[in-house]
Amino acid sequence: MRYHNVCIEAAAHLLPPHVITSEEIEARLSPVYERLGLPAGRLELMTGIRERRWWDPGMLPGTVSVQTARLALQQSGLPVDVIGALVHGSVCRDRMEPATAAGVHHGAGLPSDCLVLDVSNACLGLLNGLLLIADQIELGRIRAGIVVGTETGRDLVEGTIDSLLQDSALTRQSIKSAFASLTIGSGSAAIVLCDRRLSRTGHRLLGGAWLSDSSAHNLCAGGVEAGGGDGRPRMETDSEALLHAGIALAQRTWQKTQQVLGWQAADVSRVFTHQVGRQHRTALMQRLQLDPSLDFPTVEFLGNTGAAALPMALSLGMQAEPPRSGERFALLGIGSGLNSIMLGTAHN
């Protein structure tokens, strides 16, 4: 998978206003911790997540995505009439029908000849959307497009806390499957792509590779179920098995990506990854033989923000240190399923 005519013109993010620390979550779970003999501080110690952020209660993803899309379009400097595709790619959406992208399209004031759709693929949704747009640009069907998404983790975390407090049969073993749910945060990100002849940045999307391991599809599963009774999502995760399977898939995908791009590890200037936790980051960098200092982690203060995690890290990283001529970025995505997409960029 190679691109010759696609540039990343802008990456934008919005952070939720409410900060919730791991210490606060454990305080709410204190009856469970005391009954099971769990030490305070366990959540941050095991994940490296100090805090995460939430939107106001009831905030719809699409409402935030409108703001993020507008911000990204403003940063790009492109006129809205050249935007030929809008993809909404977060796990969270406003409703089943219509596509959340429809409301975002309207709110962002995009033209009627713009393709509008949602893409759902766990924590890879925004990267999948990015590839769909890049393909359309490379084929000459559109001149520019935007992928956007907003994750809202409040209901999952608070619902998980309530379920744990109400579960009288809970054990030190059974609580493990709910642990990953407590790492979830919220956030919003958008990326604008355009034909290189329109680009002012010269930040080229070079291409990359994808691989899947669907034998691991049952290691992390979530959604709203009738048994929950309160309309809030729940998620069950075999964190240890998911870590090992994910790192193995990531290694194979990175090897394929290096072959496609003709890269060695030494060619990479900066790394942006999906944000899971400290253990995942350490294992990923080690297995891929990449220098950890090249990575831009956000998980410590944002938690796991689903499909928005990697694009938010990219936006925050470029804001903190704008790309320099000759730099090459590695975008290392992975999501439940398991699926992995890895991409390379180069700044002229």
The pLDDT value given to residue 227: 61
Question: Which of 41-50, 86-95, 223-232 is predicted with the least confidence, judged by mean pLDDT?
Answer: 223-232
CA-based Rg of the chain, rounded to a whole angstrom? 20
Domains of the chain: 203-347 (3.40.47.10)
Q: Which of these is catalytic: 92, 123, 194, 220?
A: 123
Which of 130, 102, 121 has its CA nearest to residue 6?
130
* pLDDT tens digits, one per residue of 70-113: 999 999 999 999 999 999 999 999 999 999 999 999 999 999 99
In this structure, is the dihedral angle defined by the CA atoms of residues 347, 320, 272 and 222, taken in order, positive or negative?
Answer: negative
pLDDT above 80: residue 225? no
> Token pair for residue 203?
């930040």
Please report which confidence band the pLDDT of residue 231 belongs to, taking 50, 70 and 90 as the band edges: confident
- pLDDT for the residue 167: 93
Residue 224, pLDDT score = 84
Q: What is the mean pLDDT of the chain?
A: 96
Judge whether 194 counts as a catalytic residue. no
Which pLDDT value is given to residue 122?
A: 96
The model carries a pTM of 0.96
pLDDT in tens, 238-293: 999 999 999 999 999 999 999 999 999 999 999 999 999 999 999 999 999 999 99
Handedness of CA 284, 310, 22, 33 (dihedral sign): negative
123 is an active site residue: yes
| 169-178 average pLDDT score | 94
